[in-house]
Amino acid sequence: MRKAINGWLRSLSGWGDIVLASQCPLCQRSTSRELCQDCWTQVRQCQWVGCQTWYEPLPVFAWGQYKGALKRTIATLKYDNHRQLASPLGHWLAEAWMTELTTHPRTLTVVPIPLHPNKQQERGFNQAELLGRSFCEITRLPLQPHGLIRSRFTEAQFHLSPQAREQNLSGAFELGTLRHHRPRHHAVLLLDDIYTTGATARSAIRVLQQFHIPVYGIVAVARASNFKQFLD
């Protein structure tokens, strides 16, 4: 009898997985896609209209504005373990980036901004690496997922001022596989999920420049139009 009940419970939990897998993680309506149609439409409405590249001083390309449904989707990907969301976001980022480029830079290597190993172990994945894999499926650029490593654990950035962020991130990165597998005649294209004050990117760029590795620019799924928006 106990065996029969256990079997029934196992089959029930299997059903639970199927039901959960077909729910939109943002609104819980049933869907066969990563998000339901309504939520996708809302995410796409967050795409920047017009220019998506800023020069400060390297090119920063962002797909969308860090707000509304896009902000919720990134949070769901990172904090609720919905890593399947990285695939469409990375594809959209790649398609938009390639559209804006006038010449396709074939000599780039994509390096995602790394998490500290403790943070990655806690989360189970690095969202920038997943986005990078998806981005490279479309762009066909080579990816060095561990090109850089985060050698110093940094305080959570959320409540820090732009100046404090800069200090917090100073010396946070080191060369990873780029130390031994330095792409010849290639520049690095950094990739992150969110670009806010640019403190993270600047810290990574400083390390690459110390080793005379050229940096082409940064691509990010979302960019806050101002720092205050990030805190909202």
Instruction: Note the residues at the interface with Zn ion (CB under 5 A).
Output: 24, 26-27, 36, 39
Q: Sign of torsion, CA 179 183 184 188?
A: negative
CB of 94 to Zn ion, least distance (A): 23
Nearest to 219 by CA among 10, 84, 52: 52
Helix crossing, 86-100 with 127-139: angle to 10°? 50
Give least dist CB 82 to Zn ion, A: 12
What is the closest distance, in whole angstroms, from the C-beta atom of residue 43 to Zn ion in the complex?
10
Cβ-based neighbour number of residue 4 at 10 Å: 8
| Separation in Å, CA 40 to CA 28, 33, 86, 87, 132 | 13, 10, 13, 13, 20
Please state whether beta strands 53-55 and 59-65 pair in parallel, antiparallel, or not at all (unpaired): antiparallel
Quote the least distance from Cβ 199 to Zn ion, whole Å: 33
Tokens of residue 223, six digits: 């960019």
Q: Is the Cβ of residue 83 or residue 119 nearer to Zn ion in the bound state?
A: 83
Smallest distance, Zn ion to C-beta of residue 18, A: 18
CB-side neighbour CA atoms (13 Å) of 164: 9
